[in-house]
Amino acid sequence: MPPEREADRISGAGERGVDFSMVGPTRTCVGCRKRAPASELIRFVAAACGDSFLLTADPGRRLPGRGAHLHPDPACFALAERRRAFGRALRLTGVPDAGPLAEHIRAVSMAARNA
């Protein structure tokens, strides 16, 4: 086989489909329930605040405790809130205060729109 043909065959094989091993870990958005690379989602955790919980975005992915993930999209946030998915994803009792998380998502989605 001529060397050129062999090179074509090899480079062609690399373009077929997507290699998911290159994407890294995937997580499920608690809003739309779609899986996405963890890097495209916002991690958030629940911080105890008296006898209730405060949802806090964790952009650095460093906060301890059980986390859940959401697209930085107000539509996904609204879906998750309507379905009470936050409390369920984080195994919380009661309805957490999602105010700080809502604020974060609004800021991130605005920044993305202006980029």
Q: Would you tell me which residues interact with Zn ion (CB under 5 A)?
A: 29, 31-32, 71, 76
- Rank residues 33 and 66 by Cβ distance to Zn ion and give the closer one: 33
For 75, what's the count of Cα atoms within 13 Å in the CB-facing half-sphere?
2
The CB-of-7 to Zn ion minimum distance in angstroms stands at: 41
Q: What is the DSSP string of 39-76?
A: GGSEEEEEEEETTEEEEEE-TTS---S-EEEE-S-HHH
- Rank residues 45 and 70 by Cβ distance to Zn ion and give the closer one: 70
- Rank residues 69 and 87 by Cβ distance to Zn ion and give the closer one: 69
Nearest to 25 by CA among 44, 14, 40, 15: 40
d(CA 76, CA 110): 15
- Rank residues 54 and 109 by Cβ distance to Zn ion and give the closer one: 109
Residue of minimal Cβ distance to Zn ion: 29
Give me Rg for the CA atoms of the chain.
20
The CB-of-109 to Zn ion minimum distance in angstroms stands at: 12
